[in-house]
Amino acid sequence: RYFFSGGLMPSEHTLLHFADHLIIERQWRISGTHYQRTANAWLHNQDAARDTLMPNPCVCLCRRCTSLVATLAPVLDGLRRAVRL
């Protein structure tokens, strides 16, 4: 409902697993730095507005969302660094 609910962020190689049904004409990699900044801004805004966003705090959900966003930023940063090598 709020963040990739029921969806996923596919990896670079996801479509390759469906090669029997798809033809990949072009493929390119995006570093992830833009998404890293977005995830960090989202986390900052969530923390700043926590009482407004969750007037009846669901501690488990809040911790899971915070953990997800906090985990994504360094992972994406690591991918960006790996691409530069």
Quick: pLDDT tens for 32-84: 677 778 888 888 888 888 778 776 656 666 666 777 777 777 776 665 555 55
Whole-number pLDDT of residue 85: 42
Kindly indicate the confidence band of residue 4, based on its pLDDT and cuts at 50, 70 and 90: low
Domain boundaries, the chain: 31-84
In the predicted structure, residue 25 carries a pLDDT above the cut 80? yes
What is the reported pTM? 0.37
Q: Which of 14, 40, 38 is nearest to 27 (CA)?
A: 14
Residue ranges of the alpha helices (H) in the chain? 33-48, 50-53, 59-84
